[in-house]
Structure 1
Amino acid sequence: MKTRLMLVEDHGLVREGLRALLNAQDDMTVVGEAADGREAVRMVKRVKPDVVVMDTNLPRLNGVEATRQITADASVKVLALADASTNRAVGEMFQAGASGLLLKSASFDELLQAIKRIASGETYLGGAVAEIVVQHYIRGNGHNHGEGNGQTNGHTALTPREREVLQLLAEGHAPREVAGLLAISIKTVDTHRHQIMKKCRFRGLADLTRYALREGLTTLHVEPQA
């Protein structure tokens, strides 16, 4: 029986290349693709993959949060693909429920090995990311104790829903759009925004956006204006 795979990657060319290579394997088949984390969460329920190959940097819902929601169904395994520069996301993917971690610089042969081991119920940690994960846990699972401007306890101090709201606001979605995407009221969005600002000691939207960029909660690459 072929291993059913789902690809979650916001770069179309990368996704198409992976699909072609994986579908060429006798024991694997790509049954679904998504370009952002929110789409991935919805699609998993429909296509029921064995393994989700998940980019950590995704719009609308980042890889960590998408993994946390997807792995609520214990039958679905997640293999995270991360950039070497996203140390915090690498460290937090296991906490979110990922079964494996691999840097995007890894070879295709290593990707195949990781998928096969995860599909068989094992955990896979690429050698290049082992030190990053260890350092993440040594530092106390990403917590820090600075003060001001979002540095109170890291984004682990926020609830999962607050992290979703934070990412969407940082990506430029208006409160009404956020409410529609999350199927909640605008008043609830405002409440979450107030709690985020209070917990992280933000002075305004610029602080919120800088924090989301620093914590790897969004893929934006534009420095917000003060």
Structure 2
Amino acid sequence: MIRVVLVDDQELVRSGFAMILNAQPDIAVVGEAGDGTEAIAAVRALDPDVVLLDIRMPGLDGIEAAKAVCGETRTRAIMLTTFDQDDYVYDALYAGASGFLGKDVRRDDLVHAVRVVAAGEALLAPGITRRLISDIARHRPREGTTPSDRLSVLTERERETLRLLGRGLSNAEIAAAMVVSEHTVKTHVSNVLAKLGIRDRVQAVIAAYETRLIEPS
């Protein structure tokens, strides 16, 4: 069972999402919160698999809550917003979020997002493209490291895996490109994430651009 905590300052939004998610046989909403401070407390107390966090809330906002949740717990965060602005996407991704959805998300897409993120993958809403991630990485790289520093921990095969991840390829497509099995690709992906200290494929895409393994077009 996938355990979910919903966080939004609007009770009607929480109720609507709860109704959709609780109707699924494999998902249960185990808690709700109305701001970032309550969200952190709920996640620590309930240990959910996924937290859906509204970005714009009074008091502690969703970005700050995501930093605490993603930095201190195993819970994966999906950010919810009515805006698709670059800064929100950037801040959410660097806070450690694994997904980014608009509040007008369709019922089926919401359910799919929760399942995908709970399984350890990551996703972005259709309107938030890899081009945006490349722009973010180009304009606002992380401080304190150089491309060579970060990539030096990877083997050549792992670098190639990261390059293909950055281009948005699935495990099956990476396996075909590298002429290896999907099992081998999964091992390479796990090694890349572990060695670079990142949580999921979204963070891997950012890393590929930050390290200039892929140059923004």
Structure 2 residue aligned with 1:92 = 91
Q: Is the 8 A contact 1:10 1:36 kept in 2?
A: yes
In the alignment, does 2:136 pair up with 1:139?
A: no
Q: Secondary structure of the equivalent of 1:71?
A: helix
Structure 2 residue aligned with 1:82 = 81
Q: 1:38 to 1:86 in 2, by over 3 A?
A: farther
Structure 2 residue aligned with 1:129 = 128
Alignment of 1:37-186 (within 5 A): 37-130=36-129, 131-140=131-140
- Give the residue type in structure 1 aligned to 2:4: L
Shift of 1:82: 2.0
Shift of 1:56: 0.8
Alignment of 1:194-205 (within 5 A): none
Distance 1:98 1:11 in 2: 21
Deviation larger for 14-23 or 77-86: 77-86
Q: Secondary structure of the equivalent of 2:72?
A: coil
RMSD over aligned Cα atoms: 1.9
Shift of 1:139: 2.5
Shift of 1:84: 2.4
Q: Which runs of 5+ in 1 are unaligned?
A: 144-226
Q: Is the 8 A contact 2:84 2:102 kept in 1?
A: no
Deviation larger for 8-17 or 104-113: 104-113
- Give the residue type in structure 1 aligned to 2:117: I
In the alignment, does 2:20 pair up with 1:14?
A: no
Distance 1:141 1:65 in 2: 19
Q: Secondary structure of the equivalent of 1:72?
A: helix
Structure 2 residue aligned with 1:25 = 24
Shift of 1:53: 0.7
Residues 41-72 of structure 1 deviation map (CA, whole Å, 9 limit, x = unaligned): 11111111100011111111111110000112
Shift of 1:135: 3.1
Q: Secondary structure of the equivalent of 1:127?
A: coil
Distance 2:22 2:58 in 1: 26
Q: Is the 8 A contact 1:92 1:141 kept in 2?
A: no
Q: Percent identity?
A: 35
Shift of 1:141: 5.3
TM-score, length of structure 1 as denominator length: 0.58
Q: Is the 8 A contact 1:56 1:63 kept in 2?
A: yes
Q: Secondary structure of the equivalent of 2:121?
A: coil
TM-score, length of structure 2 as denominator length: 0.61
Structure 2 residue aligned with 1:36 = 35
Distance 1:22 1:68 in 2: 24
Shift of 1:129: 1.6
**Length, aligned pairs only:** 142
Distance 1:39 1:113 in 2: 26
Q: 1:133 to 1:108 in 2, by over 3 A?
A: farther
Q: Is the 8 A contact 1:67 1:97 kept in 2?
A: yes
